[in-house]
Chains A and B, each alone.
Chain A
Amino acid sequence: MARFDPYENNGGTCVAVAGADYCVVAADTRLSVGYSILSRDHSKIAQLGSVLKFDVQQFRAEKCVLASSGFQGDIKALQKNLAAKELVYEHNHNKKMSCPAMAQLLSNTLYYKRFFPYYAFNVLGGLDSQGKGCVFTYDAVGSYERTGYSAQGTGAALMMPVLDNQLKSPSPLLLPARDAVTPLSESEAVDLVKDVFASATERDIYTGDRLEIVVINSSGTHRECIELRKD
């Protein structure tokens, strides 16, 4: 008899691109199961740390944004888990978690469930302590690295070659080390992200409907949505 399968892939793709003083994080909003679409309007992006707003003080917009694709039950649990840990950190250290700190926390959280993993493929984007854009890319069990850009999810294999070609990332073996962040301007990076999503939507059945783009820069976070093909 068929055994109960605790996982399902709800599809979708996430991308992040780091710039000199900004970071773009984007994901489609389609939630699928099998050959069905459950929802065309389901966000894969979590703005970590900006969950709680007290009456007296309003916390400033957050510098750390997580986009995840994979099994939605695990994704929501993971995002809640991280948001709670971030809050505890804020209470203990009297400051918000920096992006590199959150990156390490995410890796540890994923590895904690190494033998019953979170089926979540993550891309973390934000600004580091110098205000430069940073992108961290993960596998399901917490292996991560800081890169200039990354894509994860069902359409990632369609997008990464295009991003590699357009962003011309330098080899990590070069000495002296070359900057991984793209010299493109913020609007050029956003246009590139829109283009790769339009391309992936054509061929990946799980990517489409609507694209949610979050841009983080020194003035805060800005969110925009554009329509994608719905077929």
Chain B
Amino acid sequence: WQQAMGSHTAGGSQAPPPPPAAAGGGETQRTQYPYVTGTSVIALKYKDGVIMACDTGASYGSTLRYKSVERIKAVGKHSLIGASGDLSDHMWDDGNSLGPKEIHSYLTRVMYNRRNKFDPLWNSLVLGGVKKGPKGDEKYLGMVNMIGTHFEENHIATGFGNHLAIPILRAEWHEDMTFEEAVKLVEKCLLVLLYRDRSSINKFQIAKITAEGSTIYPPYSLKTYWGFSHFENPAQGAVGSW
């Protein structure tokens, strides 16, 4: 059925793209490309709830355009959403008391339906929260990406974090970490991302959500070390006149 998909796109390029099925206004939208983007978001469950962290940078292609962007927002009383990807595509809850699982479900439907109309919201969203359930306070942490793939886990990372932070989280995360332990683990991941992800900056925000509610801490920076001997005189041994 690969051929069926090919002919579908060929048909689309000859005529104007079909309007979204539900639209009344008839305004059509083509596939977007992300313009201003945020990089990784990391989150993990700990003893009292969920901790989420990301840097405060936003890139415009290869330019680091904005340095003070809040990519984690509180939603309702029980949840936090962290977004990576296109920053103008954030969707916000209107403030009623949905639990984190419900919001995750809602966001998944939104992302999947936009994908079906070939008009995706170019984001990977991390959803964390704590809500009272039948077994007491239940921690929830999930992710949904731009085509609607979604799942729940004890630790989540988007973007580069998927490759750089998840191995650390898988090795060192354990059940019922204290807040201090969780922050240390998150900072370890953020530092690796700072060194290795070119779109990250040294200004981070950590947010936590517990049964009492959400707290988004003010931005701060991590100490970095650049004194490796290899970084001194990097041109040593290089070929050429540079």
> Is residue A182 contacting chain B, with contact meaning CB distance below 8 A?
no
- Size category of the A interface is 20 to 34
CB distance from A37 to the nearest CB of B (A): 8
A141 lies within 8 A of chain B by Cβ: yes
Give 4 closest A-B pairs by Cβ, nearest first: A73-B148, A4-B31, A39-B151, A72-B149
Is B120's beta carbon under 8 Å from chain A? yes
With a cutoff of 8 Å between Cβ atoms, the chain A residues found around residue B58 in the complex are: none
Answer whether residue B226 sits at the interface, using C-beta atoms and an 8 A cutoff.
no
Chain B positions within 8 Å of A, measured between CB atoms, are 1, 4, 8-9, 31-33, 108, 112, 115-116, 118, 120, 143, 147-153, 162-163, 166
Residues of chain A within 8 A of B116, CB atoms compared = 6, 116
B151 touches A3 (CB 8 A): no
Instruction: Kindly state whether residue A33 has any CB partner on chain B within 8 Å.
Output: yes
Instruction: Decide if A38 is an interface residue (CB 8 Å cutoff).
Output: yes
Given contacts A41-B153, A73-B150, contact A36 B4 (CB under 8 A): no
Given A3-B9, A115-B8, A140-B1: A73 in contact with B151 (beta carbons within 8 A):
no
CB-CB contacts below 8 Å: A1-18 with B:
1, 3-8, 10
Chain A residues with CB under 8 A of B1:
117, 140-141
- For the complex formed, measure the closest distance between the CB of B57 and the CB atoms of chain A, giving whole angstroms: 23
Residues from chain B with a CB closer than 8 A to the CB of A149 are: none
A71 within 8 A of partner (CB): yes
Q: Can you show 26 pairs from A to B with CB atoms below 8 A apart?
A: A4-B118, A6-B115, A6-B116, A6-B120, A6-B147, A10-B149, A31-B149, A36-B162, A38-B149, A38-B162, A39-B151, A39-B152, A42-B151, A71-B147, A72-B149, A72-B151, A73-B112, A73-B147, A73-B148, A73-B149, A73-B150, A76-B108, A76-B148, A116-B8, A116-B116, A117-B4
**Quick check: B148 and A1 within 8 Å, CB to CB?**
no
Question: Is A88 an interface residue, CB under 8 A from the partner?
Answer: no
User: CA separation between A37 and B120, bound complex, in Å?
Assistant: 23
Residues of B within 8 A of A74 (CB): 148
Query: Told that A3-B9, A4-B118, A38-B153 touch, could you supply 11 new A-B pairs with CB distance under 8 A?
Result: A4-B120, A6-B115, A38-B162, A41-B153, A42-B151, A73-B108, A73-B150, A76-B108, A77-B148, A115-B4, A116-B116
Which of B112, B149, B152 interacts with A8 by CB under 8 Å? B149
Measured between beta carbons, the chain A residues less than 8 angstroms from B149 are: 8, 10, 31, 33, 38, 71-73
Q: Which residues of A contact B152 (CB under 8 A)?
A: 39
With CB as the reference atom, state the residue of chain A lying closest to B9: A3
Q: Is the CB of B112 within 8 A of A39?
A: no
Look across to chain A and name the residue whose beta carbon is closest to the beta carbon of B163. Answer: A36
Contact at B118–A6, with CB atoms within 8 Å?
Answer: yes
Asked whether B31 lies within 8 Å of A3 as measured between CB atoms, the reply is: yes
Q: Give Cα distance in the complex from A31 to B151, angstroms.
A: 9
Q: Which residues of A contact B148 (CB under 8 A)?
A: 73-74, 76-77
